[in-house]
Amino acid sequence: MSEFGILSFGAYVPITRLQRSTIHATNSWFAGGLRGLAKGEKAVANWDEDSVTMALEAARDALDGIDRATVQRVAIASTTLPFADRQNAGIVKEALNLPDAVGAIDVAGSQRAATSALLVALGGNETTLVTAAEIATPKPASEREMTSGDAAAAVLVGTGAPIATLVASHSVTMDFVDHFREAGEAHDYDWEARWVRDEGFARIMNPAIAALLKKAGVEGAAIDHFLVPVAVKGVPEMLAKKAGIGEGAVADTLGASLGHAGAAHALVMLSAALEKAKAGEFILLASFGQGCDLLLFEVTAAIGSVKPRLGLSGWLARRIESTNYAKYLFHRGLLQLDRGARAEHDSKTALTALWRNRKAVLGLVGGRCTKTGTVQFPKSEVSVNANDHAVGTQEDYPLAEVPAKVMTWTADALTYSPDPPSYYGNIDFVGGGRMMAEFTDFAGEALDVGADLRMMFRIKAYDENRGFRRYFWKAAPAF
Amino acid sequence: MAKGIRDKVAILGMGCAKFGERWDKDEDQLMLEAYEEAMADAGIEASQIDAAWLGAAFDAQNIGPSGIPLAVALRLPDIGVTKVENYCASGTESFRGAVYAVASGACDIALAMGAEKLKDTGYGGLPVRTRGTTHDMVGITGSAPGNFAQLASAYRGVHGVGKDDLKRAMAHVSVKSHANGAKNPKAHLQKAVTMDQVLGAPMIAEPLGLFDCCGVSDGAACAIVTTPEIARALGKTDIVTVKALQLATSNGWEMQAQGWNGSYFHTTRVAATKAYDEAGITDPRSQLSLIEVHDCFSVTELVTMEDLHISKEGQGWRDVLDGFYDADGAIPCQIDGGLKCFGHPIGASGLRMIYENYLQILGRAGERQRQDNPVFALSHNLGGMPNQNVSSIAIIGKADA
């Protein structure tokens, strides 16, 4: 029997885990009071990642083994979308190489953007891919710098054999300004934490949770997974106690291993819960931000039939420990380094050419000669096959999900890179196709000819003169 | 069926500016320096030149686009001047234009100039530049050393050569070229270096260190060509003719298909085979007197020894270490210091190589002169990257050879 609900889920965590003790070692002379938070690690996006690239990786995680042609709408939720006017979800759509006949929506403006997007999707009847991502730029030596982390998650909602269905939902909206960030600003401004806890989390969420449970006819004690994406210590436990939810149901907020991923954190935690949930369990997701969204899910017998490619646990395990706080600051634009004259190269993008080549550039779609089977990137009118330069025979051949191998490589210390040296080389795709690619997410270990690779969607270059960023695919160590 | 260029065109005169960091000169002054030497050698007046070609790769540096900068610098008598650009092979490309013009009979005397002013960028190395709007969205800009360094990883993988063995062979290439450059007053770098200096130098692009990379220089070189008959009529007795002039340009096969293994230059192999055929050379290892190759990086020179069919595939590094290509070896390579030490003003390099070969054949190379009466001399001028490039080969020799 076909039902409507969550069909699949996935997550993404950038590979670098900055040690909080390192941050504190630099800042303790100034902000000694943060010592209590100087534990564990936070996920930090690489210089070539943003909310769009991270959302795309989470979407790929969620869509593993799923026919992408079933997706009818793509949503991205974030308070750190790279473009204020250029549909960010549209970039995700192109990178997923979805058919053009899909809808798209960007959702922003609040910490509960992702749950609001998910609620809209669950309230409709379309197969919707809801993604959420956040890349924070907290002020150095701030509490937020300690508590935040970068991550993304994705949930596919639609008709089929859902792994979880929505039992009830409840939303309240109140302009409670616990913190804010004006459009165009990099940093948040926070009000006193004690006021936010007492007047915000408690006074707004407690009655709302009670109202939801009443609406659903479910006792607090019946909740198996209570997800409260709030970084403030003790808040989830306080809310659980008030609602009669068992202490054991309170989910890990992932502060030690990842940090708080802003608006994306609700879906990150949902993704984590769905990895371990069992049939018949109740999941209560409670997100806060100028009011709150409460979503009560029941896990179905289909749980376990659909698995993300890596899932949050897999992404958390794929990690490179970093104690380089200066590199993080530089990549986040918080530290000016002398980049040298080679960085002055103008990376202006011809939007006309981008449009003509959008499938190749954003979707890594190559060509396959229907006559000889030769695969190539990019696609061209005349085949590259030396024995048969067939004309006009190529069909689209997506390469993004095709494994590749290192053919040649170098570590270039001369060319400008925000993360020198720049690793690049020729790579061969399994089953045909070759290109020269940048390598990303290498831990600095020597690359070897023949090493296995997986393509990842990244920022290729920033056009600082015009406020544009150019996306393309890079090769990462296979995972 | 075309019979090729062999012996149809003679070099009437050549000139080469001092290469180096010519902080005090504009490019038009460097072009004039090369031109005046070539004209004195040729013994002709400007009014006798029918057409000219200018090879330059980075026209945004100093001279600007078109053939006009050459016409203005030399005050040429309102003749046709064509600007050509073919990456780092632009110098040989300008020579090709002039030679073809004479061979066609359209011109009696033609001039080829190669020029580049690289030291006006404000930073070391080659200027960063775009390779087209579409390429910039999907390709790698990278640096020249980064692109050529990849030959090493592939060469080692294909031929099973140890990292240290290859690094030592590469170092020998550079030590040899520095020793040669030290004897050349026109060279940019005129200091000998030791193996230890080369091996211990800072890494530029793994595994290429500082001394594995050629100099980036200002310079110009010039050739004046005519028919052997006109050369004789003008009083020349020692005639040097063009024996072969070949160019092979990648069509994307190396970069996009999966047949190339990354350890060699497909184009150079194609151009070399055609060039030997055109010149009537059947065994390059025994017939070539000396060679000037495009040693932009030590590893490029090393694999080129194989691509020119002189060293066996996978064995070039052994010949290098055996001294086969040293100044006193069987076939000296870069006896003038090469790109490594003579320097590499892009557009000038192809003509600079021919200049040295021309001097050696005529016995005019001074302290560097080979004493075995050189007959055939090959120059190899490459532009682009290992996976996509333009490779040109010019063989010149004694007219009666």
Q: What is the pLDDT of residues A199-229, one digit of tens each?
A: 999 999 999 999 999 999 999 999 999 999 9
By C-alpha distance, the chain A residue nearest B125 is A414
pLDDT value at position B3?
Answer: 84
Mean pLDDT of B31-40: 98
Q: Do A342 and B128 touch (CB under 8 A)?
A: yes
Say whether pLDDT at A262 is over 70: yes
> What is the CA angle B354-B166-B258, rounded to 5?
80
pLDDT value at position B128?
Answer: 87
pLDDT value at position A477?
Answer: 95
Instruction: Give the pair of three-digit tokens for residue A329.
Output: 């600051």
Q: With the C-alpha atoms ordered B234, B237, B238, B239, is the resulting torsion angle positive or negative?
A: positive
What is the pTM assigned to this prediction? 0.95
Q: Say which residue, A446 or A423, is predicted with more confidence.
A: A423
pLDDT value at position B141?
Answer: 81
DSSP letters, A107-122, are E-SSTTHHHHHHHHHH
Whole-number average pLDDT of chain A: 97
Which of A350, A386, A408 lies nearest to residue B259, judging by beta carbons?
A386
Q: How does pLDDT run across A321-366, given as a tens digit for each residue?
A: 999 999 999 999 999 999 999 999 999 999 999 999 999 999 999 9
Task: Report the candidate in B185, A102, B164, A320 with the shortest Cα–Cα distance to residue A328.
Answer: A320
| B201 touches A: beta carbon within 8 Å | no
Shortest Cα distance, chain B CAs vs residue A148, angstroms: 32
Q: CA-CA distance, A295 to A303, in Å (whole number)?
A: 18
| A426 touches B: beta carbon within 8 Å | yes
In the structure, what pLDDT confidence band is assigned to residue B22 with cuts at 50, 70 and 90?
very high
pLDDT value at position A444?
Answer: 65
| B209 touches A: beta carbon within 8 Å | no
pLDDT value at position B2?
Answer: 80
Burial class (CB in 10 A: 0-12, 13-18, 19+), A10: buried
Which of A361, A412, A434 lies nearest to residue B256, judging by beta carbons?
A434
Q: How does pLDDT run across B165-222, given as a tens digit for each residue?
A: 999 999 999 999 999 999 999 999 999 999 999 999 999 999 999 999 998 999 999 9
Cβ-Cβ contacts under 8 Å between A and B: the total is: 129
Spacing of C-alpha A299 from chain mean position: 24
Mean pLDDT of A417-446: 92
pLDDT value at position A442?
Answer: 87
Q: How does pLDDT run across A130-183, given as a tens digit for each residue?
A: 999 999 999 999 999 999 999 999 999 999 999 999 999 999 999 999 999 999
Which of A342, A421, A438 lies nearest to residue B140, judging by beta carbons?
A438
Which of B137, B141, B154 lies nearest to residue A415, judging by beta carbons?
B141
Instruction: Give the pair of three-digit tokens for residue B92.
Output: 């040989």
DSSP H helices, B259-366, are 266-279, 284-287, 298-307, 316-321, 338-341, 346-362
Say whether pLDDT at B320 is over 60: yes
Q: Are strands A452-463 and A468-477 parallel, antiparallel or unpaired?
A: antiparallel
pLDDT value at position A423?
Answer: 95
Mean pLDDT of B311-327: 98
Q: Do A414 and B205 touch (CB under 8 A)?
A: yes
DSSP H helices, A244-296, are 265-276
How many other CB atoms sit within 10 Å of the CB of residue B366? 10
pLDDT value at position B60?
Answer: 81
In the structure, what pLDDT confidence band is assigned to residue B1 with cuts at 50, 70 and 90?
low
Which of B138, B157, B259 lies nearest to residue A361, judging by beta carbons?
B138
pLDDT value at position A448?
Answer: 86
Beta bridge partners of A456: A474
How many other CB atoms sit within 10 Å of the CB of residue A375? 24
pLDDT value at position A174?
Answer: 97
| A360 touches B: beta carbon within 8 Å | yes
Q: How does pLDDT run across A395-409, given as a tens digit for each residue?
A: 999 999 999 999 999
Q: Do A470 and B150 touch (CB under 8 A)?
A: no
- A361 neighbourhood in chain B, CB within 8 Å: 137-138
pLDDT value at position A1?
Answer: 56
pLDDT value at position A446?
Answer: 61
pLDDT value at position A445?
Answer: 67
Which of A384, A414, A460 lies nearest to residue B257, judging by beta carbons?
A384
Shortest Cα distance, chain B CAs vs residue A434, angstroms: 5
By C-alpha distance, the chain B residue nearest A461 is B137
DSSP class of residue B386 equals T
pLDDT value at position A79?
Answer: 98
Q: Do B153 and A408 touch (CB under 8 A)?
A: yes
> Choosing among A426, A429, A447, which should be mutated to test the B contact, i.e. which has the most B CBs within 10 A?
A426
